[in-house]
Each structure stands twice: as structure tokens, then as C-alpha cells.
Structure 1
Amino acid sequence: MIQLKKYIVLFLFVCSFGAKAQNTYKNWSDIIRKNDAAWFGTAEAKSIAENVLLYQRNIGGWPKNIQMQHELTEQQKKDLTRLKKTSEETTTDNGATCQEMLFMSKMYAQVKDERYAASFLNGLDYLLKAQYANGGWPQFYPLKKGYYTHITYNDDSMVNILNIIKEVANETDYYSIKPSKEIIEKSKKAFNKGIDCILKTQYKQKGVLTAWCAQHDEVTLLPANARAFELASLSGYESTKIVLLLMSIDKPSREIVTAVKSAVEWFDKTKITNLEEKRVLNDAGKVVDKKMIMVQNGAPIWARFMDLETNEPFFCDRDGIKKKSLDQIGSERRNGYSWYSDAPREVLKKFPDWAVKNGTKVGTADKKNVTLITVAQDGSGDFTKIQDAVYATPAFPYEKVTIYIKNGIYNEKVQIPECNTNLVLRGESKENTIVSFDDNFSKINLGRNSTFYTSTLLVEGDDFSASNLTIRNTSGDNGQAVALSVVANRVKIFNCILLGNQDTLYLSGKEAKQYFKDCYIEGTTDFIFGGATALFENCTIHSIKSSYVTAASTPEGTAFGFVFKNCKLTADAKATDVYLGRPWRIYAKTVFIECEMGKQIKPEGWENWSKPDAEKNAFYAEYNCKGEGFQPGKRVAWSHQLQKTEAEKYTIENILQDKIENWYL
């Protein structure tokens, strides 16, 4: 009987494991990219692999838009076996061939079936043979008559090819199959030719480099038409992956750097911030209509098609006649095609770091288009002082402006004025990029509110972020002395060190939302204080002496105040009696969720600051914390231990919700 139970347990375990390994994705591309590595060793994956092998033509390529996971009949298998000898419909359009090669690589990593390796290498050979002498690739190979012969950037076709060849040429471990040295050398040459083609096809508008078209003529390299509604134009979507590919190249040439900078300038010039797409869905969730609505300061989007000379967006029906707005074309094309894209945002987000890495500087001729400023004490940047860099940033820019600060100790008070929205301070490293000053209440001596003038860094501009910095107030234990003061909305502080004593971090601003992640925050009394809604995730909160961690002044009726999630509360050895918080104002809200609390935290946890009304109105709570300092049974009676259903409401979306969605990402 005992032996039988063991077999039953083993059977259930195997069944459970098999269920977890089962594919749950419906689309072929999702099956390839979203399943974990172990799934590619399952019987289900092996069965699909047989289909993929059947669909591959002997020439090495695959047809497009095939759901390879669907079970095949015996007749379909015979038909595919017959088709293997042909080159019918082999293409790289819509991800074809490139995604099947990735599938075979993932299969071979789990199952050393040499047919998988041979399939991948045959696909690679197909890609190398399909390349034009000028470095471009057609949409179909062997060549298919019509616009299919054009060099095809459409739907990222050529970029997908080059990304494969780049991994092979660089001999990375991205693909599990290792080609011969001969193929690696061919790949290096093919990649370089492909990049040269990209540089030569970048469109010049009155002598100024801009972006790329979805198709370029394979002989003249000029923008070319495709389908009737796909006229020659500059593409906001296809140009994105091209630029990201160029940015991925180590030690880029001067020509590549120029191409990237020119494209970024074009993206900035052509962004649209006064429109948003609204989709109308039926009961089944299918899009039945698309409408563009007017907004103010919307998140930037770009048109798929822009006039080659004016950059003006245009739209076409199957009659090939340009229209100026989406509502001027029929519903079939309006709803069945992607006319706008937000893809270039990724380029604009990554460009500042790329620019710093590749030694580019901000030009001084046109400050209104500044997107990156470098600060370096040795004079190698644009400025030697952070505040001077802030003064050089444009007011209320549409896109982020990054001030990159190289390592050094910057002894200065820094203010980010209200007009300097969308500003990023990014240090070279949090340990060695230090902003430091020593103001305190007595030194300022400006009356009873002197505390609020002591900050080393004052942030008043909305949509600010800082990372990789140490921000400190060095005045010592001499009363109130703020290191970082934030009186703005939608502020993100990541991977920073905040050092001070009393009142290290002040958080305020009308209905302000602020987000701290992976930070170290140190102080003595009330060293995190103010009335903003603020979320702290994965932070270390360190008490220097016995006192109070927080002093919230949450306004009445505010849903959340200070929320600490997955944080660690630590202390110096001399700090043995530390309160989690006390109410600066009687409606204070502070919650600790799944935090680790050291033994320095007093059993009662909270103090009312001699305000009996606070015991009725303040909201102090904890949930599922741990450590010697977490003693829920000994907490003051007027605090709370949340139930699971209550704690589930404390999501990042709920806490930081704002009219601008997902600003905290």
C-alpha cells in the first residue's frame, strides 16, 4: 500500500509538471517568444517542430502567416512534402523565416535533434543568399514580381534579418546552433553591407537626414510605393527598429552616430501630442471603428505615413488617393491598418544613455531642441555645475530632457523650477555621483519655516525623475536639514542614496504622487515627512538614532499617504527605540506592507505626537511584515493590521493613479 501511494504521488507530480509545461498561447509568434525554455523540451513542442520542418522549403525559407501549431491532416502533410521542393511564397515578411529560426534554436537548446540545427542553418543560408549586392533584402526570395522586389523595411523585415545575422557574426549565445567559421565570416560581411544600405537609404529632406520609408527601390535606393494605400513616405513606425538596430552596434562609426542623431531629431520634430486614438469595440471585443480625438499634451505618437517633403501625415484607401485625416478613408482600411504608432518613444527613451556612451554633446546653437546635457567637473561635458545645466534646459518641453552627471562631488544647492518639467537627472553611479550641501534650520535663519529652504535638491517641476545619485545634507545632527525636497507631481526616484539627519526627505505638492524604488534613505527624526502620496518599493530605511521614521501630513480625504512595500527597516546600533511614525497632521496615513523590520522598532509601533484626535483620524497600518520589530499583538490599539483583501488594494496602479497613465513605469 505504501509503495502504491508513492506511485500515485509520483503520477500526480508528473501530471502537474506536464500541465504547467503545456503551451497556453494561441498565436504562433507568442508560442515562440513567450513559452519558457523547458516547454521546448515537451512532447507538444516536438510535435509542433515536425510541422515547422514540413513547412520549411528546401531553399531554407518559410511562408508567412501560418499558425504552425495547428494539427495537420495526412493530406496536408503530403501537400507540404511536395511543396518543399519548390520556393513558393518563401519570405521574411510578417516575421516569417526569422521567427521559425528562433523556434528551431530554442528546440535545439532542449532537444539535440540534429534536424533542428540543420533547419536553422538552412534558414541562415537562405537569408545570406537573399541579400542584394547593395546590402538590402527583398520581401520575397526568390524574387516575386511587383513591389516585393523593393528593399523592405516594412514590418521590420530587414531589421529582423540583420538582428539574426548580428548575433551570428558576433558569435553570441543567443542562438543555440553554432555555424561554421566560414558562415560567421559571411555573416559579418552581410551585416556590414546591410548597415551600409541602411545609411544610404536614410532620406534627405532638403539636404537634411531624416528617417526611412517602408520600401526603397532596390536600384535607386529611393522611397518606393507598395500596395495602393502604401505610398512612398517617411515612416514613423518602420524607422524605429532601424534606429534601435543602429544604436545596438558597439563602437559605431561617425556615419552611424550621425544617422541616429538625425533620426532622433526627426522623431522629435514630427511627434504628435494633440491626438489620441479611440477604438470602438463590439461585444466580442473586436475593433469596429477608430477615431482620433483632440487632446492637450497627450503622450506622443507618430503617423505611419508622412509626406517626403513636408512631414505632413497622410492616409490612403485602396484607391491610392492621399487624405489628410483618418476619418476621410473607408472603414475597411481605417480599422484594418495601423496608421499611428508610439514606437519611437523607445528610441527617445534610450537615446540619452546612448548619446553619453558614444561621446555626443549637446549643441549650443539650438537650445530649444536639447534632449541631453552632460555635467562633468573635469570640463569634458557641457557644464561643470548641475544648476547651470538646469538653467540650459527648455521650459515645458514635450519630451524628456536628460542631465547626465558624471562621477564627482557637486557641492551646490540645486533647484528644478516649476517650468522645468520632464527633466531627468541621471548619475554615472549612485555611490560616486554626489550632490551635497550643508544648509540647516539655524544656518538659514529665515523664520519658523526655515526648514523648507534647507534642501540640497529642490524639485518643483512635474514629471521629474532621478537615478544613480547620492543626495545628501551634510550639516550633521543640528536640527532640521532637508536633503531632497519634492513638491511636484509624478516624480520617480530610482536607485538613489538619500542622506541626512532630521527631515532628510520632504514630500509635498497638491495631490502629488511620487515613487521611490531601490533607494537607501537615512536619517534621525521624522526623516520622511510631508503630505504627498508616495510609494516606496524595495527601499532600505535606516534610522541613525532612536526617534521617528515618518511624519506624514496627509490631507483629509486622500486615499493613500506613505506606503512602504517590500522595504527593509534597519538602524545603527545606538538606535534601539524607533517608532514607525507619528502624525504631523491628524489625518496622516502610513502603511507598511511585507516589510522587514529590525529589532529597533518599538513594540507599540506608532505615537500620537500628543494629538488625541490623530488616534481617531490617522490611519496607520501594517500587513504581513516580518522581523524582530514586527510585533502586531503589541501595537497601539488605534493602528491596524490589514486583512489580505484590504492589502490587495495597495497596488502601484491604485496608489499612483493619475490622469497620465503608467507614468511610473
Structure 2
Amino acid sequence: MIQLKKITVLFLLITVGINAQSTYKKWPDIIRKNDDAWFASAEAKKIAENVLLYQRNIGGWPKNIQMQQELSPQQQKDLIELKKTAAETTTDNGATCQEMLFMSKMYAQVKDERYKESFLKGLNYLLEAQYDNGGWPQFYPLKKGYYTHITYNDDSMVHILNVMKEISEQSDFYSIKPSKEIIEKTKKSFEKGIDCIIKTQYRQKGVLTAWCAQHDEVTLAPAKARAYELPSLSGKESAKITLLLMSVERPSPEIITAVQSAKAWFEKTKITNLEEKRVVNDAGKIIEKKMIVTQNASPIWARFMELDTNEPFFCDRDGIKKKSLEEIGAERRNGYAWYTDEPKGVLKKYAAWAAKNGLKVSGIETSAKKKDNFFTVAQDGSGDFTKIQDAVNASPSFPYEKVTIFIKNGTYTEKVRVPEWNTHLAFVGESKEKTIIAFDDNFSKINLGRNSTFYTYTVLVEGDDFSVSNLTIKNTSGDKGQAIALSIVANRAQVSNCIISGNQDTLYLSGKEAKQYFKDCYIEGTTDFIFGSATALFENCIIHSLKNSYITAASTPEGTAFGFVFKNCKLTAETSATAVYLGRPWRIYAKTVFINCDMGKHIKPEGWENWSKPEAEKNAFYAEYNNKGEGFQPTKRVSWSHQLSKKEAEKYTTENILRDSIQNWHSK
């Protein structure tokens, strides 16, 4: 029995997630004040001095500090000493992100440049703390232990990405406007973060589900944190992650798949027969917590669920799993949030989000969209079509919204053409390795004269604003001369997480003033296996040479600012390939640049070849910057190629390369 003397005990049936009325006694509550004028008050300025003191020189802040509490002279002196230590700087429990918001609100009312500088230092801290794979650790500089894991816990990474999103979109959320260079960095940071989220979504027996509160920073697998925070699927953290993905304008096929999968998992794992009963004292502290069986209760979700079965579990500080909340001790039972209602926000917003993106809801089209915005192709007859081309033919011409063709696993032996009138079309495969489009045409087989190459495609894209993700496109004719796997003669095309496989002339990229984007792809071939006149950016791709020959053969039109640009790519080869050129000019104004790429030893020291066209040495633009690997030998490159300066390399941003209208800055 609980002894009640000076404590008044209140029995309340509380819906999980509803907070008590704010009293503004806590630091986060002060930051969320909506009274703009208060941030110009003497009280606010005094608190701001504390916030400035707590910020370390590295830019971050420690967590769980009541910044509004008055500091003694000795405490102020101690904090000045701590500034240079970077001790306990973190993004956990809202730290750093919330202090940046406070500084932004202060600067909006009081143009003290120290507030602006503090905000920008905080932003730089967040940018520096990001892993190359897009995630963030809990503490930076890195602190030993589970703190190095990619941390979704308590929505830490979501908070950071929301900062990056607001700044990269140049919204009015923050009063402080960084430089264009910083804005570009936040844009890249956001894209990397979303990519990390996509890659860490857990597959349960091949089906995408949700996320763990933390993931290993190397393997990306669900990871353990504290003794009672075991690898699991998180009902809480996964909600904010999904809402963040839903906030992305013009979501990629990968984002759409991630949201759909998470929503389906939330539907599957919701609990509608339990409510949480809390016993609190007059100070608002929970002194007892129980789960009560209730019919038709408002849905809640467990904080931790088994990775393979979705079964809720609970842990005490001994790390031993229990099947019910009652089985763990009072300290952890009452001092931790074991259930949440946050996924209700996802389910509430999903229908509108699906309608906006032309998707089906529970197998039925939303009233705002027609049936011709989404098709499924499946060889077993479970979809709308069994052939991809039939789905393309059924798609509307020049639609106002994106049309998605979801392709289930299987090998589709067919030539697929996306005509010029089928714009805004998206191919989304069920899986990169098992969704395969293949055909075996080659130059000799086509036999239509000197231009036979262009008829050999497996997939031909003529419609603008095309995207394809999560599948393989192959030309299976073998090493029998020119044989295109993917031919894109369209503008604003995007290819992500795909395998493009062939031999000679694997990938043809063209189209009048066309801009095309390849991300996280594997592209392999032999001679000139990436060729054409388009402006194309390749990021984080593996470029694999099957034999000694040439990787690129650009035919960039005269006066075009960019041709083929490879950034953060890895150049690999079969063991038999030991002498591969980066490129040769199909036309004399060819442009090809490699930036931050890892080049294997198969790349020839001279790097480039003129294709018996001396005039190309004066007109072509072949360049590199900051590459690495045995194949990067800048001092041995042909004299007519270039090693970019840092300033020159900075012009190769995604925005500059891919925007539709651009000045020829090479002439400036």
C-alpha cells in the first residue's frame, strides 16, 4: 500500500502523449513562448547571456540545463573555462537545436550580433557533427559507448533535419539568414539525412517497417543504447521520422515507399484495447502507472517492439526483456514512457498526403485522384498489368501530377519505351536486385544501318520529369558491340538506387539541353559505357569497368556549362581490367569532371584519350578535383586535362549543374 500523508493522490485516466498545461518554468517552455515582445525584455536578455555562456566554442550546448536560472560569479567563471573543452556538447533531449531557436527569436527582436554569431556557430556544429552516411551521433565530439550510434532517440535527428530543412528552403522560420554557401551545405546535409533514414528503415522478412531509436553508425543495423533500450522497432521515434518524410515536397519514389511502409506498420501494430492509468502527486510526478484493459480505446503503440514479430516488450535496468509493464520495477515502470500515441499524427495526415502525391489509400484511390495515377505491374497477375509497357501505355498523356508504376519482383523480358507524351512518370521497383527489366538487342541484331545503336535499348525514356528507383535495367546481349541498357533523351530525369548493366554503350544520355541525375546507382560496362550529350550528375555511384577500355564518351554541345559530372563516386573494375581511361571525346566539346571520387588502380595514369581528334585537346574540358585511390595520379594526366582549384570546384553544386537555365561560367 502507498502511504499517503502530505501527498494528495489524484487518479487520472490519461491519454498517452497529452501534456499538462505549460507553466513556462522549464527551459524548453521558455523557448516556445509565442510572445515576441518578451524576447526584447530585460529578462530575456539576461537569460541570453546565460545561453551564450553555456555554448562551447565548438558551437554546441550541453543538455538538460535550465538556462534561465541565475548564475553565481563562480559559475560564470567555470563556464568560461568550459567553453574551450567541448564537454558534453550534444543534440540529445533537444539540446543545441532549441538554443539555436532561442537565439533566432532573440535576434528577431534585438540585433545583437552575438546572437547571430551564436546561431551560426550552432549551425556549423550540426553540419560538422554529421556522419558521411547522413546520420548524427548523440554527442559530438564523439563520446565512447552507444553515444556514437546514429540517434533517432527522442527525435534528436529529426530536430536537426528540421533545422536543415528550414534553412535550406530559406523560410522565415529563423530570423538569421546564413550565406549562400551555408545554405547549400544545409541542403546537402538534409538530403544526406533523408538518405540515411531511407537506408536504416528496417526490413522485417523482406518488408519495410519502421526504425529503431538508434542504429549502428557503420552497419546501420538497429543497435542497443542503455540497458533497457534494446534493439527494437520504435513506436515513438518512427512517428516523427515518418512525419518528416511526409513534409518533403515532391517526394522521391524511395520516400513514398518508406512512408507507405511505415504507415502500414503503424496500422498493423496499433493497440486499441489498453489505456494507461497514472497516479500522480500534487507536484505532477507519476508515482504509479498501470495498463487497463478497455474496449475501443484510442490507439496507442508500444515504445519497443520485437524486430521480427512486432511484439511489445519492456526492460528494467538489468536488460532482461519482459512481456508486460507490470513485470518491471517501479523506478523504470513509472519513470519511462513505454507507450505513445504519436503515430496517430501519421495516420491522421496520411490520406491528405497520399492524395497530394497521387497515391492509393488502403487499395482505393483517394477522391482527389483518378485511378490512372497509380498502377501495379506483377507477373503473377496480382497487379493491374503483367507487362511494364502495358502500364506505360495506360498512363495519361501530359498529366498534371506524377504517375507511379510500381513494379513487383520478377524478370521482365521486354523493351520498354516511355514516349514523349508520358511525362511525370515514375518506375518504382520492389527491390533493386530482384526487379529486373532485361532485353538482348545489339547493333548487329538490329541491323538498321549506321544508327542501329540507338535502337538497341532495353528501356528508352523520351518523356520529361521521369524517375526510376529500386530496380535493375539490363542489356543481356553480352559483349557483342553496341547495346544500350538505358537510353534517356529527356529533361529532368532521375535515376536512384538502380543497377544499370551492359557492355559497350550501356547508358545513353541525351536530349536538348537535358539535365539528368543519378544517385546511389551501380553502372557497369565496357567501351564508352556512359555516353551522350546531356548534362548529367552522378552522385555516390559505383562505376564498374568490365574490361580495358573507356568509361565515358561525352558529346557535350558547344557552349554547355557542364557535361558529365561524377561526385563522390567509386570507380571499380574486374581484375582483368588494368588499363581504363576516364573518357574520350565522342564530340570535340566533350566535358567530363570527377570530384571527390575513389579511383581504383585500373585507371590509366594519363586518364584521358583524344580519340584521334587533336582539336579535342583544345576544345574538350576534362577535369578532376580532390580524388583519391591508386588510379588518381594528377601529375601523370595528359597535359590538356585540368586539376580544378577549390574555387573552381565549388561551382559544381547540384543546383548549378541541374538547374534548367545556367550561364556558361567557364568563359568568365
The TM-score bracket by the shorter chain reads: 0.5 to 0.7
Cα separation, 2, equivalents of 1:371 and 1:84 = 56
Q: Supply the AA of the counterpart residue of 2:118.
A: S
The equivalences for 1:20-59 within 5 A come to 25-59=24-58
Which one of 363, 367, 380 corresponds to residue 375 of structure 1?
367
Cα separation, 2, equivalents of 1:376 and 1:173 = 30
- Residue aligning to 1:152: 151
Cα separation, 2, equivalents of 1:378 and 1:39 = 50
Cα separation, 1, equivalents of 2:29 and 2:363 = 35
Q: Supply the AA of the counterpart residue of 2:351.
A: P
Q: Secondary structure at the match of 2:159?
A: helix
- Residue aligning to 2:225: 226
Query: TM-score, normalised to structure 2's length?
Result: 0.52
* CA-CA distance at 1:281 after TM superposition: 1.9
For residues 38 and 142 of structure 1, do their structure 2 counterparts lie closer, same or farther at Cα, with a shift above 3 Å needed? same
Q: Contact 1:105–1:175 (CA<8 Å) still a contact in 2?
A: yes
- Residue aligning to 1:94: 93
Structure 1 runs (4+) deviating above 6 angstroms are none
For residues 125 and 283 of structure 1, do their structure 2 counterparts lie closer, same or farther at Cα, with a shift above 3 Å needed? closer
Q: Supply the AA of the counterpart residue of 2:324.
A: S
* CA-CA distance at 1:360 after TM superposition: 0.5
- Residue aligning to 1:348: 347
The one-character-per-residue Cα deviations of 1:537-565 (angstroms, maximum 9, x if unpaired) are: xxxxxxxxxxxxxxxxxxxxxxxxxxxxx
Cα separation, 2, equivalents of 1:310 and 1:210 = 11
Q: Contact 2:358–2:369 (CA<8 Å) still a contact in 1?
A: no
The equivalences for 1:74-473 within 5 A come to 74-362=73-361, 370=362, 373-375=365-367, 380=372
Q: Supply the AA of the counterpart residue of 1:129.
A: E
Q: Contact 1:151–1:215 (CA<8 Å) still a contact in 2?
A: yes
Q: Supply the AA of the counterpart residue of 1:375.
A: S
Cα separation, 1, equivalents of 2:236 and 2:209 = 13
The equivalences for 1:479-490 within 5 A come to none
Q: Secondary structure at the match of 2:64?
A: coil
For residues 60 and 379 of structure 1, do their structure 2 counterparts lie closer, same or farther at Cα, with a shift above 3 Å needed? closer
Q: Supply the AA of the counterpart residue of 2:309.
A: T
Q: Contact 2:355–2:369 (CA<8 Å) still a contact in 1?
A: no
Cα separation, 1, equivalents of 2:172 and 2:76 = 33
- Greater C-alpha radius of gyration: 1
Cα separation, 2, equivalents of 1:377 and 1:241 = 27
* CA-CA distance at 1:375 after TM superposition: 3.0
Cα separation, 1, equivalents of 2:139 and 2:104 = 23
The equivalences for 1:534-613 within 5 A come to none
* CA-CA distance at 1:32 after TM superposition: 0.4
* CA-CA distance at 1:284 after TM superposition: 3.9
* CA-CA distance at 1:25 after TM superposition: 1.4
Q: Supply the AA of the counterpart residue of 2:96.
A: T
Cα separation, 2, equivalents of 1:276 and 1:212 = 24
Q: Secondary structure at the match of 1:34?
A: coil
Q: Supply the AA of the counterpart residue of 1:72.
A: L
Cα separation, 2, equivalents of 1:29 and 1:35 = 12
The one-character-per-residue Cα deviations of 1:213-272 (angstroms, maximum 9, x if unpaired) are: 000000000000000000000000000110010000000000000000000000000000
Cα separation, 1, equivalents of 2:296 and 2:105 = 43
The one-character-per-residue Cα deviations of 1:130-176 (angstroms, maximum 9, x if unpaired) are: 00000000000000000000000000000000000111111111100
The one-character-per-residue Cα deviations of 1:387-419 (angstroms, maximum 9, x if unpaired) are: xxxxxxxxxxxxxxxxxxxxxxxxxxxxxxxxx
Query: TM-score, normalised to structure 1's length?
Result: 0.52
For residues 102 and 285 of structure 1, do their structure 2 counterparts lie closer, same or farther at Cα, with a shift above 3 Å needed? closer
Cα separation, 2, equivalents of 1:345 and 1:72 = 42
- RMSD (CA atoms): 1.7
The one-character-per-residue Cα deviations of 1:112-136 (angstroms, maximum 9, x if unpaired) are: 0000000000000000000000000
* CA-CA distance at 1:81 after TM superposition: 0.4
* CA-CA distance at 1:286 after TM superposition: 2.2
* CA-CA distance at 1:361 after TM superposition: 1.7
The one-character-per-residue Cα deviations of 1:435-465 (angstroms, maximum 9, x if unpaired) are: xxxxxxxxxxxxxxxxxxxxxxxxxxxxxxx
For residues 378 and 210 of structure 1, do their structure 2 counterparts lie closer, same or farther at Cα, with a shift above 3 Å needed? closer
Cα separation, 2, equivalents of 1:250 and 1:377 = 18
Cα separation, 1, equivalents of 2:194 and 2:110 = 34
- Could you list the runs of 5+ residues in structure 2 that have no partner in the other structure? 1-21, 375-668
Q: Contact 1:352–1:372 (CA<8 Å) still a contact in 2?
A: no
Aligned residue-pair number: 354
For residues 193 and 289 of structure 1, do their structure 2 counterparts lie closer, same or farther at Cα, with a shift above 3 Å needed? same
Q: Contact 1:375–1:381 (CA<8 Å) still a contact in 2?
A: no
The one-character-per-residue Cα deviations of 1:313-363 (angstroms, maximum 9, x if unpaired) are: 00000000000000000000000000000000000000000000011024x
For residues 252 and 377 of structure 1, do their structure 2 counterparts lie closer, same or farther at Cα, with a shift above 3 Å needed? closer
Q: Secondary structure at the match of 1:269?
A: helix
Cα separation, 2, equivalents of 1:347 and 1:291 = 26
Q: Supply the AA of the counterpart residue of 2:47.
A: I
Cα separation, 1, equivalents of 2:159 and 2:367 = 37
- Residue aligning to 1:553: none
Q: Supply the AA of the counterpart residue of 1:124.
A: L
The equivalences for 1:607-646 within 5 A come to none
Q: Contact 2:359–2:366 (CA<8 Å) still a contact in 1?
A: no
Q: Supply the AA of the counterpart residue of 1:101.
A: M
Cα separation, 1, equivalents of 2:88 and 2:131 = 18
The one-character-per-residue Cα deviations of 1:373-393 (angstroms, maximum 9, x if unpaired) are: 4236966579xxxxxxxxxxx
Cα separation, 1, equivalents of 2:148 and 2:64 = 19
Q: Contact 2:138–2:148 (CA<8 Å) still a contact in 1?
A: yes
* CA-CA distance at 1:69 after TM superposition: 0.3
Q: Contact 1:165–1:187 (CA<8 Å) still a contact in 2?
A: yes
Q: Secondary structure at the match of 2:304?
A: coil
Q: Supply the AA of the counterpart residue of 2:235.
A: G
- Residue aligning to 1:62: 61
Q: Supply the AA of the counterpart residue of 2:251.
A: P
Cα separation, 1, equivalents of 2:313 and 2:32 = 34
For residues 36 and 296 of structure 1, do their structure 2 counterparts lie closer, same or farther at Cα, with a shift above 3 Å needed? same
Q: Contact 1:278–1:293 (CA<8 Å) still a contact in 2?
A: yes
Q: Secondary structure at the match of 2:136?
A: coil
Q: Secondary structure at the match of 1:84?
A: helix
Percent sequence identity is 76
Q: Supply the AA of the counterpart residue of 2:192.
A: K
Q: Supply the AA of the counterpart residue of 1:289.
A: E
